[in-house]
Amino acid sequence: MNKHCNVMPPKRSGFTRLYFATIYSYRGIKAAFSSEAAVRQEVVAMAILLPIVFMLEVTNSERVLLLFSLFVVLITELLNTAVEKLSDHVSTDMHELIGKAKDIGSAAVFISLILVLVTWGIILM
């Protein structure tokens, strides 16, 4: 269900589904960017590192790994943000399971950042 109405949107197929999926994705990226400092920081880091990936003298396979590692961080952060937003919607009270869910999401982001460090470290050494 999207935030603009109280009913589920109709099932769509083909290009119509793709069109609306793109709109929903854009809204999600915009919402995450506007509400989460971590997303903004990671986007800035990507804006700096993406051009560097294409300036490095590495193989195409290495270039793909460098790019992949950066996108994994952003993907993981977006999923973590979704868990946090849903958790806060369910309850803003301290709850053991909600706390664990948020901690696990945070751990996933941390591991994705380690992936970047390891990938870049191995390729650039």
62 assigned to a ligand binding site = no
12 assigned to a ligand binding site = no
Which positions are catalytic? 77
| 90-to-6, 7, 87, 95 alpha-carbon distances in Å | 17, 19, 5, 10
57 assigned to a ligand binding site = no
Q: How crowded is the C-beta side of 103, counted as CA atoms within 13 Å?
A: 7
36 assigned to a ligand binding site = yes
- Spatial separation of the C-alpha atoms in residues 56 and 50, rounded to whole Å: 10
30 assigned to a ligand binding site = no
- Spatial separation of the C-alpha atoms in residues 68 and 123, rounded to whole Å: 13
40 assigned to a ligand binding site = yes
Q: Which residues are annotated as a binding site for ATP?
A: 17, 24, 36, 84, 102-103
Q: Which residues are annotated as a binding site?
A: 17, 24, 36, 38-42, 63, 77, 84, 102-103, 106
Q: Which residues are annotated as a binding site for a divalent metal cation?
A: 36, 84
Q: Which residues are annotated as a binding site for substrate?
A: 17, 38-42, 63, 77, 106
